[in-house]
Structure 1
């Protein structure tokens, strides 16, 4: 019961302290994640390569499908502001893995061009922000709260 009270308090605080410009950031984040999902699906050679490189081909292919589905559906939901926190929760493991495991292989803090690492880190941080802040005023969630009978 106390966990629900804490979540409700965080949600209430976030609703009171939600600047309008952050809604535009949420929309851009959702569209970017959707774009990455489309790129992920359109690169079928990479999907096949993922499944062939390891011993667990079924697991890798299932993981690739999870990433593609989560990015496509999650990107749309985040951009629209519909069940944003849930959509963010499905994105967090993917970005956490991308930041901390994929980039470690490339040299986590190497001095080379780490643009992909930096973008992944920014996206991860933004997802954490929207896990706390939620959808905002310019969202389907807000519209549904203010128009319960529609």
Structure 2
């Protein structure tokens, strides 16, 4: 718990507006990806075909859409950002592995890897000073 407080103190002392814009952009991207998966079911079905027959594959399918929709909104507002990021990491790691092991789509591979790395950064950095987390902390 003390480590999280130290990370928050460091992040609040080193806050930059472009980092907040990056966090919001990541959240919007994840939310739109969740909407895309909901509306384009054939593409989504083809995408998850390698894991469909694994145990719990359909559970993972439903988890992806829910995590992208809810997590994306939480990341945009900076509300429980670290928890929202933690829910995204397995999905982004799987996206990277599917693009690396399966049919290699270089653009998707680079996108999933860069998004994974940005999310790992925000896992440590937190939501920053311009967020709901910071606002609620200051209300205490």
Q: TM-score, normalised by structure 1?
A: 0.82
State the shift of 1:51 in Å. Answer: 6.5
Q: How many residues align?
A: 139
SS in 2 for 1:130: helix
The reply on whether 1:123 has 2:84 as its aligned counterpart is no
Whichever of the two has the greater Rg, that structure is 1
RMSD of aligned C-alpha atoms?
2.1
Q: Is there any run of 5+ residues in structure 1 with no aligned partner, and where?
A: 108-112
Q: Quick one: distance in 2 between partners of 1:14 and 1:140?
A: 15
SS in 1 for 2:129: coil
Residue 35 of structure 2, aligned match among 32, 38, 43: 38
With over 3 angstroms needed to count, the CA separation of the structure-2 counterparts of 1:17 and 1:40, relative to structure 1, is: same
> Aligned ranges for residues 1-40 of structure 1 at < 5 Å?
4-40=1-37
SS in 1 for 2:16: coil
> Aligned ranges for residues 11-90 of structure 1 at < 5 Å?
11-49=8-46, 50=48, 54-56=52-54, 59-90=56-87
More displaced 10-residue stretch of structure 1: 139-148 or 27-36: 139-148
SS in 1 for 2:56: helix
Aligned residues of 2:52 and 2:58 also touching (Cα < 8 A)? no
The reply on whether 1:132 has 2:130 as its aligned counterpart is no
State the shift of 1:60 in Å. Answer: 2.0
Aligned residues of 1:20 and 1:136 also touching (Cα < 8 A)? no
